[in-house]
Every structure is written in C-alpha cells, then in structure tokens.
A and B are shown apart, each in its own frame.
Chain A
C-alpha cells in the first residue's frame, strides 16, 4: 500500500465540529475513491473523483458530507457538524486508470485510513 497517504491517521472531534480528511494518491494516479468502514463491517463506497471532477457520489450522505480533488493538492473529505454515527474509518484509494479494466490487475491501492472518533 505504499504511496497512498492519508492524514490524519486518527482524529477526535466533538459533536458539531468539522472533520477534514486528506488523501494524497499514489504518484501518477488521477483517480481517487473514498470508502467508509463502520466497526466490524465491510467498506462502503462513498465517492469517486478525478482531478477537479466528482464522477460518482452516490454513496455519500446528501447532507454534511462533501469531497473534492483539486487540480493541485490532496483530495479532501469534509464532514460538517459531525455526529456520533460518523465515527468510522475512512479509507482513500487511488488508481492510475478508470477502475477495473478487463484483463488488467484492476487494483485499487488503499491508504491506511483515517479513524474518526466523535465524542
């Protein structure tokens, strides 16, 4: 998993505060995905971004959550007015192409995750 950098690794927020999670994809990768993992559950897709574009945000809650991947700098997942139910591990993944192509490795490279705890 070397290369996909997420920070912070751990973040503690009180209810109502904002959380900002950052993801720098692997060098040369222009496709970024965010996934959320609740305790003892599998990962759930949130959003897929390319540089300056949101391609698919069908897994993102309609309110309080937003994501961006600017031309310069890391991708950011922003959670406003956090609630206890937002406590989870948030994983970023990157790929060099548009996802899983037939015959290719199709690998998404995941970061180590950012663990958000809401008090």
Chain B
C-alpha cells in the first residue's frame, strides 16, 4: 500500500524560530494536505494542495506540492507557543470520475515543541 515518510519525527525549537518539515512518498498523490492535531483532539486542516509545484500560504504557514507529486513540505515562520502540537501530512490519489475522495494516507507525524 501507499506509505508516507514524514520527517523529522520531533522538533524542539525556540519561540520565533522558523520550522520546516516534509513528507515523501513511494507513489504519486494528486492531493497533499497538512493537518495539525492538538492532544485529545481531532486533526484540523491547515493547508490543501492540488497541483504539482503549487505553493500555498496560510498566515505564517507555507506548503508546497512537489513537482514529482511524491513529496511536500510545510514551513512555519516565526513560531509561537500555540504552534505546539503534532503536524501530519496526508495524501490522496484520484479515484473513479477524477475525484479523490477522503481516503487519505497519513504520515507518522512531527511533534513540535516550542520553548518560550
């Protein structure tokens, strides 16, 4: 089956620093998504990417869909304490009819700790 390798597994940074994490896949995905999960909560979508090469920003977050369709990265600039949490990449491949329904493959997650 499809697998996503997400790195790093964990990061400990100082408030104000920039953060970068990435995901690679052995197979092609048509959609890349980045989620954040707080303890005891469900994942919340941060950024969605639909086209190879696409670069999308959401506030201090920037994500890119790799040209090969097999990778994506997420950058967080000027980190703040509330950025703490687990960040997941997720990919989806097209199904019948050209749409990719919500059968997502998730990475293992990156645990982010921000020291004030």
A→B interface (CB under 8 Å): 1, 4, 31, 33, 35, 40-45, 48, 55-56, 58-59, 91, 93, 95, 98-103, 105-108, 110-113
Contact indicator A108/B41 (Cβ below 8 Å): no
Q: Are B102 and A1 in contact (CB under 8 A)?
A: no
7 additional contacts (CB under 8 A) given A99-B103, A108-B102: A42-B88, A43-B104, A98-B99, A99-B92, A99-B101, A105-B45, A106-B33
The size class of the interface chain B forms with chain A is: 20 to 34
In the bound assembly, the distance between CA atoms of A99 and B33 in angstroms comes to: 13
A100 partner, pick from B41, B88, B92, beta carbons under 8 A: B92
Interface stretch of the complex, out of B14-22, B65-73, B106-114:
B106-114
Q: Which A residues are CB-close (under 8 A) to B104?
A: 35, 43, 45, 108
B59: interface (CB < 8 Å)? no
B31 CB–A CB distance under 8 Å: yes
B50 and A102 contacting across the interface, CB-CB below 8 Å: yes
Please state if B106 and A43 are interface contacts (CB–CB under 8 Å): yes
Task: State whether the Cβ of B48 lies closer than 8 Å to any Cβ in chain A.
Answer: yes
Q: Given A45-B104, A106-B31, are A99 and B99 neighbors across the interface (CB < 8 Å)? A: yes
Which residues from B are CB-within-8-Å of A102? 50, 98-99
Name A's interface SS: loop
Residue pair A48, B101 in contact (C-beta under 8 Å) = yes
Q: Are A42 and B109 in contact (CB under 8 A)?
A: yes
Over the window 71-94 of chain B, the binary record of Cβ atoms lying under 8 Å from chain A Cβ atoms (1 yes, 0 no) is: 000000000000000001010100
With a 10 A CB-CB cut-off, give which of A35, A40, A100, A101 has the most chain B CB atoms: A100
Can you show 16 pairs from A to B with CB atoms below 8 A apart? A31-B101, A35-B104, A41-B108, A42-B88, A42-B108, A43-B43, A43-B88, A43-B104, A44-B106, A45-B103, A55-B101, A95-B102, A98-B101, A112-B40, A112-B41, A112-B42
Q: Are B48 and A106 in contact (CB under 8 A)?
A: yes
